């Protein structure tokens, strides 16, 4: 059935997109009206139940969103920082309880106290100006430190559009096979968490026969604590766009789709502006610079769903379907968006491509380690003395990142959750054992992932943090597979009951639950959740012991 729905959704192509139309219909009231849903159902030949099923899933479309005017960040970083209680109390003086909603996460982890109002994000001391913000809707500049150690690839400045895109024009003079060879030489692996070879994906898509292919940028950076993709989109947008254009040329795709999370309104605006500048420069459209290659962009604003960071759920979302994870095979490179061959890569991965094409794959491979080439961006939260973004060569010691680039902690910290909610929970005593690369983290039983760093202070209970992880997964689960849908809820219930009563969690039962999640879930949301739970049970056994039976 979902394959047929994909075909129906693709009848009108990208120009008139069902998912986008649902977002437009929700702008005034916060949720599409019954009339709008029926109109779109008829227009796209989709069942009313399918349209309602999609609408009811998203945080910013579901009926419960109606009437919301301001949103408070409830991400992990803001939670451990303890800023949101005071923030909500101040907002209550200006908005009713029904007008205040929640978002996860706004990417303002470097200073916390984050909230969203009138298509803009705010954080830090902005809450003290809430009366003026409410009356004037005045966006405030976002400031954070950006540093690098080693090779500055993603944090380097680039020239004006005309000069910078000479890299792209030179690529058009070469055969796609030559460019693919450079990517293979580079060893570039996906920076979104999985660490999968980008060249392999492009080659697979290139060899798939179809008159339409897509390059999709997964800019749904939903990991609480991560804001490195936001940095690229807002500070280095053309590195990303050119990376997508070159990827399209290699794979034979004429469309680039940017799926940008709705929690990043500034990113959406900046990327749209950058696309317009490319159109004016004659670098988009049909037969670009007489090369025979045609390419266009479609920018789509997401509507609040962490699961859309999983590539197949993202594709279902773009089609206006409920964003459920798809069973593979077939893989997206053979049957992706609208059942056409599609390559999905995240922002940071694609932004590396211009450097590789300018300097060569071997130059990129000379940076980092043999298995983890290039550099990595890390997001440092507000517990650091120098919070913000730092870029380091793969293989750099974590100790250098924490104490030199990050300036150390501003208050005592006992653990760091690195790589998002599904990443490893790293106790501070393991800092000196780790280097910033995929293999080092895997060897020590952790996960580098997106390389976001959320600190857990000494006075924050680990049991409460684990409860938060289960609750987050339960809320964000697509619901397609029962281990994730039910297991995350049961895990939350057990830990919440243990924390708030005399109930003791049976350790054997918890182990069985984690095993079921790990091996039975369709995707990394349910499958990855056990990792930080196991890390906590291993390294914080004495703190957690009072809550467990055996």
Q: Is the dihedral of CA 506, 509, 511, 517 positive or negative?
A: negative
Quickly tell me which residue has 């298509």 as its tokens. 119
Q: Where are any strands of DSSP class E within 23-179?
A: 70-73, 100-103, 115-117, 120-122, 145-149
From residue 437, alpha-carbon distances to 145, 205, 223, 296, 377 in Å are 22, 27, 18, 34, 11
Which residue in 178, 67, 105, 13 sits closest to 452, CA to CA? Answer: 105
- pLDDT over 70 at 2, yes or no: no
Helix 265-280 with 237-251: angle, nearest 10 deg: 60
Query: Rounded to an integer, what distance in angstroms lies between the CA atom of residue 259 and that of residue 240?
Result: 13
221 close to 107: Cβ distance less than 8 angstroms = yes
Query: How are beta strands 452-457 and 413-418 bridged, if at all?
Result: antiparallel
Interval 195-203 mean pLDDT: 92
Give counts: helices (H), strands (E), the chain: 26, 14
347 close to 299: Cβ distance less than 8 angstroms = no
Query: Rounded to an integer, what distance in angstroms lies between the CA atom of residue 220 and that of residue 217?
Result: 9
- pLDDT over 90 at 9, yes or no: no
Dump the DSSP string for 188-245: -B-TTTT--BHHHHHHHHHTS--S--EEEEEE---STT--HHHHHHHHSHHHHHHHHH
Global confidence as pTM: 0.96
Work out the percent of the chain whose per-residue pLDDT is above 70.
Answer: 99
**DSSP state at residue 276:** H
Phi-psi region of 287 (alpha: psi -120 to 50; beta: other; left: phi over 0): left
**Range scoring the smallest mean pLDDT among 45-59, 184-198, 468-482:** 184-198
Q: 89 — phi, psi (to 5°)?
A: -65, -40
Q: How confident is the model at residue 141 (pLDDT cuts 50, 70, 90)?
A: confident
Q: How confident is the model at residue 1 (pLDDT cuts 50, 70, 90)?
A: very low
Q: How confident is the model at residue 192 (pLDDT cuts 50, 70, 90)?
A: confident
Domains of the chain: 2-65 (no CATH), 70-143 (3.40.30.10), 146-365 (3.40.50.11540), 378-456 (3.10.20.600), 462-547 (1.20.1440.230)
pLDDT digit string, tens, across residues 406-441: 999 999 999 999 999 999 999 999 999 999 999 999
pLDDT digit string, tens, across residues 61-106: 999 999 999 999 999 999 999 999 999 999 999 999 999 999 989 9
Q: Which residues contact 176 (CB under 8 A, 6 or more apart)?
A: 206, 249, 250, 251, 252
Distance of alpha carbon 100 from the chain centroid: 24
The token pair that represents 312 in the structure block? 């197949």
Query: Rounded to an integer, what distance in angstroms lies between the CA atom of residue 194 and that of residue 420?
Result: 12
370-375 own/partner pairs: CB under 8 Å, 24+ apart: 371/187, 371/437, 371/438, 371/439, 372/189, 372/195, 372/437, 372/438, 372/439, 373/186, 373/187, 373/188, 373/189, 374/153, 374/186, 374/187, 374/188, 375/148, 375/150, 375/151, 375/152, 375/153, 375/154
From residue 140, alpha-carbon distances to 116, 118, 129, 199, 400 in Å are 12, 12, 10, 40, 32
Q: Is the dihedral of CA 310, 314, 316, 321 positive or negative?
A: positive
Query: Rounded to an integer, what distance in angstroms lies between the CA atom of residue 301 and that of residue 259?
Result: 6
pLDDT at 340: 96
Interval 126-149 mean pLDDT: 90
The token pair that represents 201 in the structure block? 């994906």
Query: Rounded to an integer, what distance in angstroms lies between the CA atom of residue 337 and that of residue 98?
Result: 37
3-state helix, strand, coil in the chain (%, to 5): 50, 15, 35
Query: Rounded to an integer, what distance in angstroms lies between the CA atom of residue 205 and that of residue 195?
Result: 18
271 close to 260: Cβ distance less than 8 angstroms = yes
Work out the percent of the chain whose per-residue pLDDT is above 90.
Answer: 92
pLDDT digit string, tens, across residues 318-330: 999 999 999 889 9
From residue 195, alpha-carbon distances to 188, 314, 371, 473 in Å are 9, 18, 10, 22
Mean confidence (pLDDT) of the chain: 95
Helix 530-539 with 462-476: angle, nearest 10 deg: 170
Interval 484-505 mean pLDDT: 97
**DSSP state at residue 158:** -
Quickly tell me which residue has 């469309």 as its tokens. 255
Residue 152 or 14, more confident: 152
101 close to 65: Cβ distance less than 8 angstroms = yes
């Amino acid at each position: 059935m979902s394959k047929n729905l994909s075909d129906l959704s693709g009848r009108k192509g990208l120009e008139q997109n069902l998912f986008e139309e649902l977002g437009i219909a929700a702008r005034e009231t916060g949720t599409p009206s019954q009339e709008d849903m029926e109109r779109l159902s008829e227009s796209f030949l989709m069942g009313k139940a399918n349209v309602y099923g999609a609408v009811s899933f998203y945080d910013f479309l579901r009926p419960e969103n109606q009437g919301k005017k301001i949103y408070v960040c409830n991400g992990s970083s803001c939670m451990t920082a303890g800023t949101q209680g005071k923030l909500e109390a101040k907002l209550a003086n200006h908005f009713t309880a029904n007008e205040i909603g929640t978002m996860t996460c706004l990417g303002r982890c470097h200073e916390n106290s984050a909230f969203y109002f009138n298509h803009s994000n705010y954080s830090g001391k902005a809450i003290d100006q809430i009366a003026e913000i409410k009356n004037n809707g005045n966006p405030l500049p976002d400031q954070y430190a950006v540093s690098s150690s080693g090779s500055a690839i993603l944090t380097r400045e680039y020239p004006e559009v005309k000069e910078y895109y000479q890299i792209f024009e030179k690529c058009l003079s070469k055969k796609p096979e030559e460019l693919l060879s450079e990517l293979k030489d580079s060893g570039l692996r996906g920076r979104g968490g999985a660490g999968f070879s980008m060249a392999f994906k492009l080659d697979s898509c290139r060899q798939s026969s179809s008159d339409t292919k897509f390059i999709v940028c997964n800019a749904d950076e939903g990991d609480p604590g991560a804001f490195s993709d936001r940095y690229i989109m807002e500070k280095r947008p053309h590195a990303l766009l050119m990376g997508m254009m070159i990827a399209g040329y290699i794979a034979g795709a004429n469309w680039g789709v940017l799926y940008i999370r709705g929690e990043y309104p500034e990113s959406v605006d900046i990327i749209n502006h950058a696309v317009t500048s490319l159109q004016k420069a004659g670098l988009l459209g049909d037969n670009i610079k007489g090369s025979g290659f045609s390419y266009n962009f479609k920018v789509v604003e997401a509507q609040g769903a962490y699961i859309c960071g999983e590539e197949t759920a993202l594709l279902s979302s773009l089609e206006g379907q409920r964003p459920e994870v798809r069973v593979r095979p077939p893989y997206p490179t053979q049957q992706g968006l609208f059942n056409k061959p599609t390559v999905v890569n995240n922002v940071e991965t694609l932004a590396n491509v211009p450097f590789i094409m300018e300097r060569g794959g071997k130059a990129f491979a000379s940076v980092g380690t043999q298995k983890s080439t290039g550099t990595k961006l890390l997001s440092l939260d507000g517990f650091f003395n120098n919070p913000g973004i730092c870029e380091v060569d793969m293989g750099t010691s974590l100790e250098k990142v924490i104490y030199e680039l990050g300036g150390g902690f501003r208050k005592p910290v006992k653990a760091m959750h690195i790589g998002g909610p599904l990443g490893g929970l790293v106790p501070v005593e393991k800092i000196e054992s780790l280097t910033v690369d995929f293999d080092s983290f895997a060897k020590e039983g952790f996960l580098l992932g997106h390389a976001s760093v959320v600190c857990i202070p000494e006075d924050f209970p680990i049991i409460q943090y684990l409860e938060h992880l289960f609750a987050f997964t339960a809320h964000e689960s697509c619901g397609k597979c029962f281990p994730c849908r039910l297991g995350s809820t049961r895990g939350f219930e057990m830990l919440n009951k243990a924390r708030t009563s005399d109930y003791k969690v049976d350790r054997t039962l918890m182990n069985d639950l984690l095993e079921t999640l790990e091996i039975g879930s369709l995707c990394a949301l349910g499958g990855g959740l056990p990792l930080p739970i196991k890390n906590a049970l291993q390294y914080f056994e004495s703190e957690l012991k009072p809550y467990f039976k055996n």
